Amino acid sequence: MATTFNDTQMTEFKRLVARYPEGKQKSALLPALHLAQESFDGWLSTEAMDYVASLLQIEPIEVYEVATFYSMYNLKPVGKFVFEVCQTGPCMVSGSDNIIDYIKKTLDIRPGETTKDGLFTLKLVECLGACGYAPMMQVGKIYKEHLTKEKVDSIIAEYKALATNN
């Protein structure tokens, strides 16, 4: 996987940087890291971070500092789809424990692990702002809410189908 942006990605990168005043291009770092993660297999390798540093003309360490601080950046390879299940109080009182157990059993992985076929990673996360629609999880850009065991089954089937069709 190449760690340079293609033309479309570069256009988006330039749009992100243009939002800040002259000389303040470092402000684009968080959005740029999101773009890099989406562009390069869902995680940030050292090469990817160094590349972002060179584009923004900042030191690599400034990028590492930031990438390690925020929970959305993956610093290790992840599955094609990451199930980020919320486990905080409001979700917990609405039954998230059962959903987490069910996903663990169904995919046969523990939190932080990826299935052998490389399709799914399970990640336990803290409140995602969907407390009224609990239990819930985030998959990529999408929120899956009001989870039940049946719904989890159909979500897994949905992403499996997506993977085979691509």
Least distance between ligand FES and beta carbon 137 (Å): 9
Residue 46 near residue 13, CB atoms below 8 Å: no
Order of strands, sheet of 137-139, starting from the edge strand that comes earlier in the sequence: 120-125, 81-86, 137-139, 142-144
Query: Considering the complex, what minimum distance in angstroms separates the CB of residue 66 from ligand FES?
Result: 24
List the beta strands (DSSP E) in 3-162. 81-86, 120-125, 137-139, 142-144
Task: Determine the interface stretch with another protein among 3-11, 89-97, 102-110, 149-157 (rule: CB under 8 A).
Answer: 89-97
- For 151, the token pair is 């719904």
**From 48, 53, 55, 66, residue interacting with another protein (rule: CB under 8 A):** 66
> Which residue from 10, 119, 131, 163 is in contact with another protein, where contact means CB under 8 A?
131
45 binds another protein per the rule CB under 8 A: no
Tell me, by CB under 8 A, how many residues bind another protein.
41
Q: Are 123 and 147 in contact (CB under 8 A)?
A: no
* Residues at the site binding ligand FES, with contacts judged by CB under 6 A: 86, 88, 90-91, 127-131, 134, 136
Beta-strand (E) ranges in the chain?
81-86, 120-125, 137-139, 142-144
Residue 43 as a binder of another protein (CB under 8 A): the answer is no
Q: 121 and 79 in contact (C-beta within 8 Å)?
A: yes
State the minimum distance, in angstroms, from the CB of residue 116 to another protein.
Answer: 27
Q: Which residues bind another protein (CB under 8 A)?
A: 19, 21, 24, 26-31, 33-34, 56, 58, 62, 65-66, 69-73, 87-90, 92-94, 126-134, 138, 141-143
